[in-house]
Amino acid sequence: RAFERHGTRTAARRDYKDFIAANRHWLIPYAAFCTLRDEFGTADFSRWGDYARYDKKAVEAYCRRNSREIAFHCFVQYHLHTQLSEVCAYARSRGVVLKGDLPIGVSRTSADAWIHPRLFHMDSQAGAPPDAFSASGQNWGFPTYDWEHMAQDGYAWWQARMAKMAEYFDAFRIDHILGFFRIWEIPVHAVHGLLGYFNPALPYSADELRGMGFDTAGGRFTVPAPDDRMLGELFGELADEVRTTCMKEGRLLPAYATQRKVAERFPGDDPRRSRLREGLMTLLDDVLFIEDPRRKGFFHPRIAAQSTYMYRTLDPQRRDTFDRLHDDFFYRRHNRFWQESALRKLPVLLSATEMLTCGEDLGMIPDSVPETMHALQILSLEIQRMPKSLGEVFADPARYPYFSVCTTSTHDMNPLRAWWEENRELSERFYREVLGMEGDAPRTCEPWICRRIVDMHLRSPAMLAILPLQDWLATDAALRSPHADRERINIPAAPRYYWRYRMHLTLEELLRQEPFNATLREMIIAGGRR
């Protein structure tokens, strides 16, 4: 309605024309993407017929024929730009710094993937190896970057992305900074992250593996080879059905040979279908090595393969050999190689702006990552529940490095109150070892506990302490949410979680809470963060 009423008048304004001129290189193709998406009823551009592949001349002609729709999307972007610019100017005038976010991935059905397909490996998916949050790893579904192609024009796509962010922000977080060293790449036919591998990497050649006692000829160690005992463990009374329907001569039939095919064959929550689907997915995970899709005859050890049935069937000597090559591959073999990979990309990106740079450096961290981040003046992320020192259960905020951002919780984990109730044994240990208390820990994370934890972070040496609203409110019995289990923002292993957290108080209500705001002010001053 605003466009219908004001669109023509807005288009005549000098600042609108300046915005269009400065952003035309991305704005017009993006507006065409939005118009085609609405016309075809899907963002999956592979279903757009003649427009499935981006062609500049064809798109320009399409824009001329659909000028009204294109103008609408430009109008929307212009107002988003002016509104965010006003917010940033107001914040800076009040001494408030806005910190932006640089997600590591882009959707495979995005305008970027449509316009610049050669910048991405569309036959793969980005994700993360298994961790405490997801035993089967994480599959984010994003295509991975073709860094070699990006390097040909000096990473222009990244530089443009950074320059646009710098219009609004003074600091930014690089999501999953490890992705600039190496990304966890998962074949497009897989569902679980367990079938992924690092890219770039230095996989073992078939000859190397043969010399270590692993002859991969004929798919040995790289293709699931279940016996009757394994089928019984996975499928129980359904084992015979799997053997006769899904297999031939000890191998899965082509119709069941990938996790995507299995998911399509057995959809829904019916108990029988679920048992078959999950069992077949686990069966497909049961390999020791994964062949590199771009270098035939070279193999990556499957991460955490010690949990596979195939590993259990190895003799003790070969188990020891696999353990050594697995540990060498994931923790030593690539250290300098990945550092060199990051140093080809990150300096170019960082030089594009003057924003303060923070990196989310969680997960399997090679030794070269902290030294590279320090050399490039990138702040690390420190989380008490995710210590970086071997053998620690909880990190000590008093020992955080200065060049860091510390936080009580991230968007990918439970805030303090829900975390306290996640694992009774862990909260008991925290109560005794970190808080120094005796006796049984309270069943819930009481306000005084939350305040103690917040205080630790405010008093830490970290340059920045950035805490979630939920954990600030948790320090006040009257203001905290009635439902701790509704405070979580995201579950990274569940891509359809939809970031469902909503504040239970309005900003106006918070502004009126004078005792609470006074307490926060006192805590911040006491922590030396005035």
What is the C-alpha to C-alpha distance for residues 169 and 89, in angstroms, rounded to an integer?
Answer: 10
Which candidate, 403, 389, 409, 405, places its Cα nearest to that of 472? 409
If you average pLDDT over residues 475-503, what whole number do you get? Answer: 88
- Model confidence band, residue 367 (pLDDT cutoffs 50, 70, 90): confident
* pTM of the full structure: 0.89
Amino acid symbol at 116 = H
- Model confidence band, residue 255 (pLDDT cutoffs 50, 70, 90): very high
Which candidate, 306, 302, 308, 363, places its Cα nearest to that of 338? 363
pLDDT at 389 over 80: yes
What are 238's strand-pairing partners? Answer: none
Amino acid symbol at 474 = A
By the 8 A CB rule, do 400 and 466 touch?
no
What is the pLDDT at residue 496?
Answer: 73
pLDDT at 474 over 80: yes
- Output DSSP code: residue 430: I
Amino acid symbol at 408 = T
Phi, psi (rounded to 5 degrees) for 150: -60, -35
Q: In the structure encoding, which two tokens stand for residue 327, read together? A: 């540990």
- Model confidence band, residue 107 (pLDDT cutoffs 50, 70, 90): very high
H or E segment at 359?
strand 356-359
pLDDT digits over 127-166, tens only? Answer: 989 876 678 898 999 999 999 999 999 999 999 999 999 9
What is the pLDDT at residue 212?
Answer: 96
What is the C-alpha to C-alpha distance for residues 189 and 123, in angstroms, rounded to an integer?
Answer: 9
- Output DSSP code: residue 433: I
pLDDT at 390 over 90: no
What is the C-alpha to C-alpha distance for residues 368 and 181, in angstroms, rounded to an integer?
Answer: 9
What is the C-alpha to C-alpha distance for residues 299 and 311, in angstroms, rounded to an integer?
Answer: 16
Q: In the structure encoding, which two tokens stand for residue 162, read together? A: 């950074």
- Model confidence band, residue 233 (pLDDT cutoffs 50, 70, 90): very high
- Output DSSP code: residue 64: H
What is the C-alpha to C-alpha distance for residues 199 and 146, in angstroms, rounded to an integer?
Answer: 10
The average confidence (pLDDT) of the chain is 95
What is the C-alpha to C-alpha distance for residues 7 and 2, in angstroms, rounded to an integer?
Answer: 7
Segments in 423-498 forming alpha helices (H):
424-429, 447-458, 469-473
What is the C-alpha to C-alpha distance for residues 408 and 459, in angstroms, rounded to an integer?
Answer: 13
What is the pLDDT at residue 159?
Answer: 95
If you average pLDDT over residues 368-374, what whole number do you get? Answer: 94
Which candidate, 232, 243, 145, 229, places its Cα nearest to that of 185? 145
What is the C-alpha to C-alpha distance for residues 478 and 513, in angstroms, rounded to an integer?
Answer: 10
What is the pLDDT at residue 31?
Answer: 98
pLDDT digits over 264-321, tens only? Answer: 999 999 999 999 999 999 999 999 999 999 999 999 999 999 999 999 999 999 999 9
DSSP per-residue letters across 377-418: T-BEEEETTS--STT-SS--GGG--SSEEEES--TTS--HHH
Assess whether the previous peptide bond of 370 is cis (omega < 30° from 0). Answer: no
Cα atoms found within 13 Å of the Cα of residue 212, Cβ hemisphere only:
19
pLDDT digits over 19-50, tens only? Answer: 999 999 999 999 999 999 999 999 999 999 99
What is the C-alpha to C-alpha distance for residues 340 and 345, in angstroms, rounded to an integer?
Answer: 9
What is the C-alpha to C-alpha distance for residues 387 and 514, in angstroms, rounded to an integer?
Answer: 35
Segments in 94-146 forming alpha helices (H):
111-115
Torsion, Cα 372 377 383 386, to 10 degrees, reads 0
3-state secondary structure of 432: helix
3-state secondary structure of 501: coil
What is the pLDDT at residue 494?
Answer: 75
pLDDT over 70 for what percent of the chain?
99
